[in-house]
Amino acid sequence: MKKVILIGAQGKMGQAALTGLQKHHVITASRSGNGTDYQVDITDKKSLKALFEKVGPFDAVVNTVGYCEYADFTDMTDEQWDATVQSKMIGQINLVKVGLEFINDGGSFTLISGILNVKPIPMAIADATTSGAIDTFVRCVAHELPRSIRINVINPTVLEEAWDVYGDMMPGFQPVPGTLVGKAFERSVDGFITGQVIFVDA
Amino acid sequence: MKKVILIGAQGKMGQAALTGLQKHHVITASRSGNGTDYQVDITDKKSLKALFEKVGPFDAVVNTVGYCEYADFTDMTDEQWDATVQSKMIGQINLVKVGLEFINDGGSFTLISGILNVKPIPMAIADATTSGAIDTFVRCVAHELPRSIRINVINPTVLEEAWDVYGDMMPGFQPVPGTLVGKAFERSVDGFITGQVIFVDA
């Protein structure tokens, strides 16, 4: 049994991840802190550090959050780009950087991207671009991590559980059940792979 | 003959691009403005807009600049990440956004990334991550560009002309001549392809 910090536990992706973490001691965190063990804002390094300090030694961090703005490229403002970059991209990078100071030897980080960087759709250029950045970051930074620490990223298509929200903007996409995405998180946390982009698509 | 704006014309990559643009009317720009027709700072939207306004109607923009900081992941500061993101990633995205208001129908943008996102080396995590972002941006945003405007990105390995500077940090890499990279820029500007990452590697 590993001690796993799950960030974004209240969201649909967090609930999907949770299905793959049943054998572990899962400590939950979310932006609001409502219904979770801890509050954390991944865009704030101090908030991340405070979370890791409060939790104490842990074996894995699973992140399922990354805020994105959606707009046509020609309409997307500097502020929308910045909000997306600071959360989905830099937020996750900082999560790893700060987490490295606290995670146990042989621990793992599992980040989140999303299928729109390989299956583009209208309105999603910031989501796609930052997903591409995170997929690349994981593939490359894995070579640098000390103490046998691993890192992977889950790149899922839309969840069945979120199809009512996203279905209209994703014509021709086949949603997958959260439990299948949960398997990907499990494979990252419980396997020995590192530097992998684990696609979950149908 | 097309009217092509070449940004970073004084650099080694700019000189490489220039070898592929011989049949065109090339207008040069650089950060300092020394030895080029215009001065431009790609991290400043106002500077980009001023360049395009001064040049008047044009058919293509070729960008060969994107500042990157180099450090081990665990040592890289927030400021180093930000400098890299604001230049190589957001700078190039803004170049396209601002340029779209001025470029002729059927025009093209050619951006620059670099091979380290697929061949990682120590110290280059910010370079690699932002190259991954730009490669993804180009593949996805191509679907959104209006008026038959195209976009591609050149993803080259190290130039022979720059081997004295980068060779020590890139063991086992085979540099390529600038004229070969120039062919890639030519293929982007003079072809009909769009949304492509044009790798130039040996």
Give dist(CA A48, CA A53) in Å, integer: 9
CA-based nearest distance A76→chain B, Å: 9
pLDDT given at position A173: 98
The amino acid that residue B55 corresponds to is V
Is the ipTM beyond the 0.85 threshold? Answer: yes
Q: Are residues A182 and A17 in contact, defined by beta-carbon separation less than 8 angstroms? A: yes
Task: Tell me the two tokens of residue B31.
Answer: 């950060």
The dihedrals phi and psi of A102, each to the nearest 5 degrees, come to -120, -25
pLDDT, one tens digit per residue, over B144-175 is 999 999 999 999 999 999 999 999 999 999 99
Structural domain including A64 reads 3-200
H or E stretch at A38: strand A38-39
CATH number at residue B100: 3.40.50.720
pLDDT-derived band at A128 (thresholds 50, 70, 90) equals very high
pLDDT given at position B24: 98
pLDDT-derived band at B140 (thresholds 50, 70, 90) equals very high
pLDDT given at position A94: 98
Smallest Cβ–Cβ distance between B117 and the set A131, A136, A143 belongs to A136
A90 chain-B contacts, CB cut-off 8 A: 81, 85
pLDDT, one tens digit per residue, over B116-133 is 999 999 999 999 999 999
pLDDT given at position B72: 98
pLDDT given at position A136: 98
DSSP string, A39-87: E--TT-HHHHHHHHHHH-SEEEEEE-------B-TTT--HHHHHHHIII
pLDDT given at position A169: 95
Smallest Cβ–Cβ distance between A125 and the set B94, B132, B137 belongs to B137
Give dist(CA A18, CA A28) in Å, integer: 10
CA-based nearest distance A129→chain B, Å: 5
Beta strands in A74-163 (DSSP E): 103-112, 150-156
Give dist(CA B109, CA B126) in Å, integer: 23
A141 vs B73: CB contact, 8 Å cut-off?
yes
A45 vs B85: CB contact, 8 Å cut-off?
no
Q: How many pairs of residues across A and B have Cβ atoms under 8 Å apart? A: 97
Task: Tell me the two tokens of residue A181.
Answer: 């995405």
pLDDT, one tens digit per residue, over B40-79 is 999 999 999 999 999 999 999 999 999 999 999 999 999 9
CA-based nearest distance B137→chain A, Å: 5
DSSP string, B41-102: -TT-HHHHHHHHHHH-SEEEEEE-------B-TTT--HHHHHHHIIIIIHHHHHHHHHHTTT
Smallest Cβ–Cβ distance between B136 and the set A93, A100, A128 belongs to A128
**Percentage of chain A lying above the pLDDT 90 cut:** 100
The torsion defined by the Cα of B187, B188, B192 and B196, in degrees rounded to 10, comes to: 110
B90 vs A90: CB contact, 8 Å cut-off?
no
The amino acid that residue B135 corresponds to is D
A139 vs B120: CB contact, 8 Å cut-off?
yes
B125 vs A135: CB contact, 8 Å cut-off?
no
Give residue for tokens 């003959």.
Answer: B1
pLDDT, one tens digit per residue, over B14-51 is 999 999 999 999 999 999 999 999 999 999 999 999 99
pLDDT-derived band at A63 (thresholds 50, 70, 90) equals very high
Q: Which of B44, B95, B135, B137 to mutate to test the interface with A (most CBs of A within 10 A)?
A: B137
pLDDT given at position B200: 98
Task: Supply the mean pLDDT for chain B.
Answer: 98
Q: Are residues A72 and B143 in contact, defined by beta-carbon separation less than 8 angstroms? A: no
pLDDT, one tens digit per residue, over A151-193 is 999 999 999 999 999 999 999 999 999 999 999 999 999 999 9
DSSP state of A89: I
CA-based nearest distance B19→chain A, Å: 30
pLDDT, one tens digit per residue, over B82-128 is 999 999 999 999 999 999 999 999 999 999 999 999 999 999 999 99
The amino acid that residue A178 corresponds to is G
CA-based nearest distance A41→chain B, Å: 17
pLDDT given at position B73: 98
pLDDT given at position A109: 99
Q: How many structural domains comprise chain A?
A: 1
SS3 of A175-200: CECHHHHHHHHHHHHHCCCCCEEEEE
Smallest Cβ–Cβ distance between B129 and the set A72, A128, A137 belongs to A137
Q: Are residues B32 and B39 in contact, defined by beta-carbon separation less than 8 angstroms? A: yes
> Starting from the edge strand earliest in sequence, which strands make up the sheet with B38-39, in order?
B38-39, B25-30, B3-7, B58-63, B103-112, B150-156, B196-200
Residue B79: Cβ-neighbour burial (10 angstroms; 0-12, 13-18, 19+): exposed
CA nearest to B155, candidates B72, B66, B59:
B66
Q: Are residues A103 and A148 in contact, defined by beta-carbon separation less than 8 angstroms? A: no
Task: Supply the mean pLDDT for chain A.
Answer: 98
pLDDT given at position B155: 98
